[in-house]
């Protein structure tokens, strides 16, 4: 198994989190897409983008499909609920993250973004972060008693907040968010998932 990964891309980070959670043996090839992409990428992904997973004769290039493939291919520990209704709820949460959160993160992480657009997207991101504070009081993880793929998404997003210049108030009302972040970032798999470039992200501010 080979994983073609962006060295500080949030989509690649989500996949590396799953690889670490499940202790999957995999060769990870890291790339900085602003400098160089793998020569074979156009033959692996018709959209010529990372990340890409190659598992023997199977090639997968859509982040969400990669995550679910790994969860089914390596079922322990499961990162999607077993029961169909709970699984559907989890997938709907992922859908909302993909629709509401990821477009904002995508734009803010782009090196081509203007300062005006960055500031507008940052305001939207602050609103999204503030909006989950009450939700995080209900369960240990994101609307779940167990760590799921939803938390893989949120781990990669929340870890990048300092890099994107987003700070949360040190007040009691944001305590649930701080506890959630601590829970995510203290997992052994999280530390294993980080590249050297990602370890430096929190020290780089816009």
pLDDT of residue 200: 87
Mean pLDDT (whole number) for 124-144: 94
**Measured between alpha carbons, how far is 50 from 53 in angstroms, rounded to an integer?**
9
> How many Cβ atoms are within 10 Å of 206's Cβ, its own excluded?
12
**Measured between alpha carbons, how far is 151 from 109 in angstroms, rounded to an integer?**
20
Residue 200 C-alpha from the chain's centroid: 17
Q: How confident is the model at residue 139 (pLDDT cuts 50, 70, 90)?
A: very high
**Measured between alpha carbons, how far is 51 from 156 in angstroms, rounded to an integer?**
14
**Measured between alpha carbons, how far is 121 from 44 in angstroms, rounded to an integer?**
32
Q: Can you read off the two tokens belonging to residue 84?
A: 């169909």
Q: What are the pLDDT digits (tens) for 73-127? A: 999 999 999 999 999 999 999 999 999 999 999 999 998 999 999 999 999 999 9
DSSP label at residue 78: -
Residue 118 C-alpha from the chain's centroid: 20
For each of the domains in the chain, give its residue range(s) and CATH number, in order of start. 2-73 (3.40.30.10), 84-187 (1.20.1050.10)
pLDDT of residue 206: 39
By the 8 A CB rule, do 56 and 27 touch? no
Q: How confident is the model at residue 24 (pLDDT cuts 50, 70, 90)?
A: very high
pLDDT > 60? residue 205: no
Buried-state track 156-167, b at ≥16 Cβ within 10 A, e below 16: bbbbbbebbebe
By the 8 A CB rule, do 6 and 179 touch? no
> How many Cβ atoms are within 10 Å of 9's Cβ, its own excluded?
25
pLDDT averaged over every residue in the chain: 94
Q: What are the pLDDT digits (tens) for 26-83? A: 999 999 988 889 999 999 999 999 999 999 999 999 999 999 999 999 999 999 999 9
């Amino acid at each position: 198994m080979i994983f073609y990964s962006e060295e500080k891309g949030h989509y690649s980070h989500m996949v590396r989190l799953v690889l670490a959670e499940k202790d999957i043996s995999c060769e990870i090839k890291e790339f900085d897409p602003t400098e160089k992409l793998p020569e074979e990428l156009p033959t692996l992904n018709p959209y010529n983008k990372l990340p890409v997973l190659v598992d023997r004769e199977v090639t997968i290039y859509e982040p969400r499909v990669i995550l679910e493939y790994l969860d089914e291919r390596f079922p322990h520990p499961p990162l999607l609920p077993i029961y169909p209704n709970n699984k559907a709820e989890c997938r709907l949460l992922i859908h909302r993250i993909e629709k509401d959160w990821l477009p904002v993160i995508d734009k803010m992480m782009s090196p081509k973004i203007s300062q005006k657009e960055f500031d507008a997207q940052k305001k939207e991101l602050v609103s999204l972060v503030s909006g989950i504070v009450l939700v995080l009081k209900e369960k240990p993880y994101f609307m779940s008693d167990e760590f799921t793929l939803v938390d893989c998404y949120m781990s990669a997003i929340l870890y990048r907040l300092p890099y994107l210049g987003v700070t949360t108030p040190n007040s009691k009302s944001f305590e649930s968010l701080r506890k959630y972040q601590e829970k995510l970032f203290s997992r052994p798999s999280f530390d294993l998932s980080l590249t050297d470039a990602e370890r430096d992200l929190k020290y780089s501010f816009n």
